[in-house]
Structure 1
Amino acid sequence: MSSLIRLPEGSVCWPVGALSSAAQDVHHAQTRIARGADNAPFLSGITRWERRYADMLAWVEWNWVEMDEGTVVQADPLNVRSNVLLLDERGRPLLSSRRRATLATLVYLLPWQGAVLDELRQSAPQRRVSASAAAPMRLAA
């Protein structure tokens, strides 16, 4: 059995020890807003952040949901997609569970909510349903 690791094309190796400095160099690349039902007052979407390494582009992206106007959260903090292979102190790939936790930490360090909220504000006239126009909610007794 070969000990070589086959990386998908476009993958970038990133030492886990460089996480805090990498977070300073990662920038917002794109936020996509998912348009739900016409009367859905809150939205969801995907945001993507990138960092250039010489001739390679490292990226991370995750789903977010709007909880209330002005409040966005990750849909699933342990579901961060990336083309980054995180390496431990010995240069070996991190286990999947540690990789997920490390990428979640990176997301926590990024000022991503501001970028997403800016995108939501730009789309505000087209997306909001006024509270009076929304269908009344029926609650069970």
Structure 2
Amino acid sequence: MTNLIRLPEGSVCWPAAALSSAAQDVRHAKTRVSCARAIDHCTGGTTRWERRQGDATAWVEWDWVEMGAGTVVQADPLNVRSNVLLLDDRGRPVLSSRRRTTLATLVYLLPWQGPVLDELRRSATMRLAA
């Protein structure tokens, strides 16, 4: 019986204890804006932040919605997608519930609203020009 962990292609291991220092190195990669839904006139999208680690790139991404002019929030704070496998102090993978809360904390520490609002302004300007 083997104890090897099989990671999906492109996964990156990251010590959970290094969260606060990792947050300083994570950078905005891209933001996608979705058109407003006719039902609630709500604009939303996805934003991705990345961190280079050796020859791999660790990424986190989540959905957001615009609640009003100048206000964006996560659509679901515990639904952060990532290729990061978080490790405990002994180098073992953390439980799924701890992974979700740790990634949610990382998102909380990031200044992500500014780049999302910038992209919203750019896309609004492009829609008006069209």
* TM-score above 0.5, yes or no: yes
**Normalising by structure 1, what TM-score?**
0.85
Deviation, structure 1 residue 124? 2.1
CA RMSD after TM alignment:
1.7
Q: Which residue of 2 aligns with 1:89?
A: 89
> Is 1:28 aligned to 2:28, yes or no?
yes
Q: Which residue of 1 aligns with 2:117?
A: 117
Q: Which residue of 2 aligns with 1:15?
A: 15
**Map of 1:6-85 to 2, 5 A cutoff?**
6-37=6-37, 41-85=41-85
**Normalising by structure 2, what TM-score?**
0.92
- Native 8 Å contact 1:31 1:46 kept in 2: yes
What percent identity do the matched residue pairs reach? 73
* CA–CA separation in structure 2 for the residues paired with 1:116 and 1:85: 26
* CA–CA separation in structure 2 for the residues paired with 1:32 and 1:39: 20
- Native 8 Å contact 1:42 1:69 kept in 2: no
- Native 8 Å contact 1:44 1:65 kept in 2: yes
* CA–CA separation in structure 2 for the residues paired with 1:81 and 1:37: 23
Which sections of structure 1, spanning at least 5 residues, go unmatched? 129-141
